[in-house]
Each structure stands twice: as C-alpha cells, then as structure tokens.
C-alpha cells in the first residue's frame, strides 16, 4: 500500500477525535486504568517487534517488504504475524476509550480493515514470494492478528 501505516494510524487518531467532537454518539466513561492498560498492551506489542527486526538486522519499513533479509518468527512474532499492527490497533482503541464516544469506534474498524486488506496482504504476498514454504508454515501456525488466522 502506498499510505504508510503510521500515516493511517495518524488519520484514524484524527478521525476518532473528530467523530468524538462533532458526532459524539452515545458517550461513555472508561476508567483511566483501562485506557492505560490498553496503551501498555499496545506498546508491549510494538516495541518488542521493532527490537526483533533490529536484532535480526532486517527492515522495519513496511513500505518495502521485499527488502526483508530474514523471516522473523520468534518472540512476539510467535503470538501474531503482525504485532506492530496489533500494537497500533490497541493504541487507537485506547484513544477511543479515552475519548468516550461510541461513534469513535468507527476509527478502530477503519484502521483494522485498511491495514488488514491493503497493507498486510501486500506484505504477506511479498514474504511468501521471498521465503516460500517457510512463510507458509509460519502463517499456518501463527495468526495474522491475535485470534484471526486470515484477518477480514
């Protein structure tokens, strides 16, 4: 996909904030501890994934999956094939909980769908071409997200 995931993340933060401010449908309250827990969970997926890529000396840039020199499958990548995107999704969810407007959940759905359909599919196609059977075996064992093998 041509839109970097960080830009998609920023867009979804802005969208959630706009929906909360201008179309605040069904306001609710989330305790600060729950929001903090979501942020910590997001960071717990993001940081180990980035450090794993650095440790394996492979690209962290999602715009160039063909530059991957190693198929990283250990650590956090044993829980999800896309822990960075899981982490980003959890951060959007934390922001939505902090905002407290049901309408803002649209941003969570948009982030999940756009990353799953446009970013991850392209990345996985590239990784499959580059690493072949090793990637197929990995994909059969580890879900794309946390609980969903194939996404949406």
Q: For residue 66, what pLDDT band results from cuts at 50, 70 and 90?
A: confident
Q: pLDDT value at position 149? A: 60
The stretch 111-126 carries a mean pLDDT of 94
Note whether residue 27 is domain-resident: yes
| Number of domains the chain is built from | 1
Q: pLDDT value at position 75? A: 94
The stretch 80-106 carries a mean pLDDT of 97
Q: Alpha-carbon distance 55 to 75, whole Å?
A: 11
Q: Out of 25-29, 65-69, 90-94, 120-124, pick the least confident.
A: 65-69
pLDDT higher at 147 or 79: 79
Note whether residue 63 is domain-resident: yes
Q: pLDDT value at position 150? A: 61
Domain of residue 119: give its range.
9-141
Note whether residue 149 is domain-resident: no
Which one, of 29, 35, 12, lies nearest residue 89 by Cα? Answer: 12
The stretch 111-138 carries a mean pLDDT of 94
84 to 20, 26, 30, 141: CA distances (angstroms): 25, 30, 24, 18
Q: For residue 7, what pLDDT band results from cuts at 50, 70 and 90?
A: very high
Note whether residue 64 is domain-resident: yes
The stretch 93-101 carries a mean pLDDT of 98
Note whether residue 49 is domain-resident: yes
Q: pLDDT value at position 67? A: 82
């Amino acid at each position: 996909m041509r839109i970097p995931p960080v830009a998609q993340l920023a867009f979804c933060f802005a969208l959630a904030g706009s929906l909360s401010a201008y179309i605040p449908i069904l306001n609710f309250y989330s305790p600060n501890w729950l929001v903090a827990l979501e942020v910590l969970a997001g960071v717990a997926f993001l940081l180990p994934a980035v450090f794993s890529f650095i440790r394996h000396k492979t690209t962290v840039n999602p715009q160039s999956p063909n530059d991957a020199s190693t198929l990283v499958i250990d650590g956090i990548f044993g829980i999800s094939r896309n822990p960075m995107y899981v982490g980003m999704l959890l951060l959007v969810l934390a922001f939505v909980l902090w905002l407290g407007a049901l309408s803002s959940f649209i941003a969570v759905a948009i982030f999940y769908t756009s990353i799953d359909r446009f970013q991850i599919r392209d990345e996985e196609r590239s990784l499959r071409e580059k690493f072949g059977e090793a990637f197929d075996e990995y994909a059969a064992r580890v879900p794309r997200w946390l609980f969903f093998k194939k996404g949406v």
